[in-house]
Structure 1
C-alpha cells in the first residue's frame, strides 16, 4: 500500500484534520489500534471510553476507532454526545483511558481526537502521541489489521453524573439571583449547560435565570464560529447581555472545555483576570480545609498577565510558571499537586477534576464569586485587570529564528532579563518613572507564524513596545 503520512494530522497535543481527506474511518481505526498498543496495553487498562461532539462526522470516526481498539481484545465504553470535559469526567470517574472526538472551535469540515490516559492524564507528543502516529502510519502503509473486534462494546450515559459531580464542587444554591446569558455557539455548551445549571437528573433549582443563545447542536456553526477567543464571535453575546440587563455573559467554544466571560456592560473579561479570581478562591478553600498556604501551588503559563503571579503571591501560595499547552500545564499541576491552573486562552484546570480543564467548572466559580457579594462583575474584577495588554498578535515570517534574534538584539538596549522557557520572554522590571513591561515571542508549531504578547504598566508603554517589536518582526 502507499505510505500515508499523518504529519499534518497528529499535532503536538491532539489529532486534528479535515474530513474525509485527512481524517477518515481508515485513519481512525489505525489510530484506535495504535492507541491500544501504545497506551492501553502498557498501562494495563481493560479498555477505554469514547465520546464525540455534535459534528456529523463524529459517530463514524468513533465506530472505526472503537473497532481498532476492540481488535486488540479490549473493551470500549461509548458515552455518546459529550463535551470534552465530560469525556475527562468519564475517564476520571471510570478510571479508563479516553478519546474525545472533536475539533473544538475549528470549522465544520474538521474533526479531531483528544486522547488521555486513565484519570484524564494527557497524551501529548512526548507522552505517547508521537509513538501512536508512527505506529498508525506503519499500519496504514502495511494494511490496517482487519482482526475481528473481540472486545465488548457498551453504551453509558454520564451526563447526569457529570452534572452532579460539578455541583458538588461549587455550591451555587445560596448565591443571590443572577441573570446570565450563555452563548453555546451551537456547540456542546448547549448540551451541558442545561444539565449542570438546570434541574435535570433530580438536581435542585439554582437562583439563576439563563438566557440561551445558539443552544441547538449544529456542527456547521450557522451563527458564528465557536471560538470566543475571536472578538467578532462575542458580539452577539455582548449585545444580549445589555439587552437583557444581565449580570454577566458566558461563551463556550465548540467542545465546551473553554469558557469566556463578559461583564454586565458587555465588556470582555480577560482570561488572566478569571485565572486570578479562581486562584484566590481555590487557595482560600485549600487553606480553609487546613492546608498551609506555602504548600499550595497554582500553575500559570508564560503569557498570562503579570497580575496572576502577583495575586497568587498575595494569598501566600506558590505560583508555578510553565509553557503554553495543556500537556505542560497538566504535567506541572500533577507534579506540584496544584489546586488550580489557568491559561490566557481560557483553559482552566482543577486538582479536583483530575488536573484536567473544564470550562463549566470555571463558569461556576465565576457565578459563585459574583453571587456571593453585591457588586457588579465589573467592580468585582476591577483589581484583577491591572495592566494593558496587546493580546496575541500573529505575524507571518519566513525565518522565525532570525526575527526572534533581531528582537533580542533590539531589547539589549532596553535593560531586560531573558527567559527561554517557551519562546523568547523579555522582562523590563522598570522603576520610578520607568514603566514595567514584558513580552513573549513564540513560533507556531504548525504555521510560519510568530505570536507576540506584550503587557505593560501603562497603555502608552505597551503600544510602544508592541509596535517596535512588530516593526522588527515584519520588517
Structure 2
C-alpha cells in the first residue's frame, strides 16, 4: 500500500509527479465517490498547466464510482463552492495549488452545501481508501457534462451591493495571471449593463499557467509592486490583487499602500454591522484588538475561532455569524454558505467607499493608528513546539494573560502577540499588536525582542 503524502490538514497539496499525479487524482476521485456516494459532483480547476489533466483523471475516478459530474471548466475555488450550494449537486472539487510553487498542484474538496472536507471531517477516510485501492465495482458508471456557472455566480455576487449606490471610481485589478480575470470581465459587463460607473484598469489579467509575472501571492511583499505602481500611475481609488484560485483578495488604498488583512476584517465587520447591529462576527486569535473595537462600536458580538477555514466555518455555522474574517485575507460569508470568497470583499469595500464618501486610507488610518501590528512574520525553526515552549517560559514572570485557542497568545496590556505552528508548512508564525492608548514601545522593539528569542 503506497502512502500518499499529498493529504494535508485542510486540503490536498503536493509536488507534481512524486506526490500528486493523474493516477493519484483518479484514486482520490474514486474514493470520494465511494465514501460519499453523491449523485452529482461539480468540479473545476485553476489555470496551472497540470490542472486540466488532473481534473480529467479525477472525473474518471468519480465516473467509475458511479458519480455524475458537472465539469465547470477553468474556475476559482469559490465558483466550485458556489456550485456546491447553489446547484442540485452533493459536492464539489477544485483542482488548485493556490499560491504554491509551479511544480505543485492540489485539490480542495467539499460536500453538499459546500461543507468542508478536512482531516477531521473525511479527508483521512478518503486518503485511507485511495491508499488501499479497495474500490467496489459499480453497475452503472456516471456521466459528465460541461456547465457554465459564471452567469449565476455573478448574479449572486451582485446581491451583496446596491449597484445604484456605487459612486464613480477607478479600480486597478491584478489577477496575477491566475483564475480571477474571467470573473472580473463578467462583473465589468454586468456593471456596464446596470450603468455602474466603475472603470477597471487590468494588469496581469490573462489567465496563463506559466505565470510570467510570478506565482500570484500578494501576501509576499515582493509581489505587491505591480499593483501599487498601477494604482499610483492611474490615480485609482482602490487596488485589488488575488492569489491563483482567487479565494483571497488583497486591497491597496488610493496611495498604493497595502492594507493588512487584519484591518480589512474590521472594515467588513463594520459594513455588515452598519446594515444590521447585533450580528455575530467570527475572527481568528492572531490579531484581535481592532476587531473587538469595531464590533463593540457597531453593536455586534465578536466570537473567536481557531485559524483555518474548517474551524472558522464550523464556528460561524454554530453561531449563525454573518461574517468571519482571518488576518490572512480569508473572508467568509453566511450568505455564501459560510465559505470564503475573494470577490465579495472588494465589492463590499466599494460599497463602503460609496456610502461613506471616504477613501480607503481614511477608513482604515484610525484603525492602524490605534492598533499597530507587525504583519505576519514567519520563522523556519527545527522544532515549532519546543520554540513555543521556550517563548512561554521566557515571558512567564511577566504574568501575561494567556490564550491557547490556537498556538499561544500572550497579552501584556499594552501589547500582545500570538505564535503558532503553520498547519500547512514547517514554519512558526508570529503576529504582534499594540495599543496606542497604553503608550507601548515602538513595534520594531517588540519584533526585534521576539526575533532574537526565536532565533537564539
Greater shift in the superposed pair: 236-245 or 57-66? 57-66
Which residue number in structure 1 is paired with residue 292 of structure 2?
Answer: 309
Which residue number in structure 2 is paired with residue 290 of structure 1?
Answer: none
1:111 aligns with 2:105: yes
Match of 1:190 among 156, 160, 181: 181
Which residue number in structure 2 is paired with residue 426 of structure 1?
Answer: 410
**Would you say the 8 A contact 1:322–1:421 is kept in 2?**
yes
Q: Distance in 2 between matches of 1:16 and 1:343?
A: 21
**Would you say the 8 A contact 1:68–1:149 is kept in 2?**
no
Matches within 5 A, 1:17-96: 17-38=14-35, 40-41=36-37, 45-96=38-89
- CA drift of 1:195 comes to 1.0
Q: Deviations over 1:185-214 (max 9, x none)?
A: 0011111111123338x9424210100001
Q: Deviations over 1:396-427 (max 9, x none)?
A: 22222222122111112323011111111111
Match of 1:4 among 2, 5, 12: 2
Equivalent pairs, count: 451
Which residue number in structure 2 is paired with residue 98 of structure 1?
Answer: 92
TM-score (norm 1): 0.91
Which residue number in structure 1 is paired with residue 386 of structure 2?
Answer: 402
**Would you say the 8 A contact 2:65–2:137 is kept in 1?**
no
**Would you say the 8 A contact 2:13–2:107 is kept in 1?**
yes
1:467 aligns with 2:448: yes
The unaligned stretches of length 5 or more in structure 2 are none
**Would you say the 8 A contact 2:62–2:68 is kept in 1?**
yes
Matches within 5 A, 1:227-376: 227-287=217-277, 293=278, 296-376=279-359
Change (3 A) 1:149 1:389: farther
**Would you say the 8 A contact 1:185–1:254 is kept in 2?**
yes
The unaligned stretches of length 5 or more in structure 1 are 288-292, 430-435
1:170 aligns with 2:153: no
TM-score (norm 2): 0.95
Matches within 5 A, 1:103-182: 103-139=97-133, 150-182=141-173
SS of the counterpart of 1:136?
Answer: helix
Change (3 A) 1:21 1:147: farther
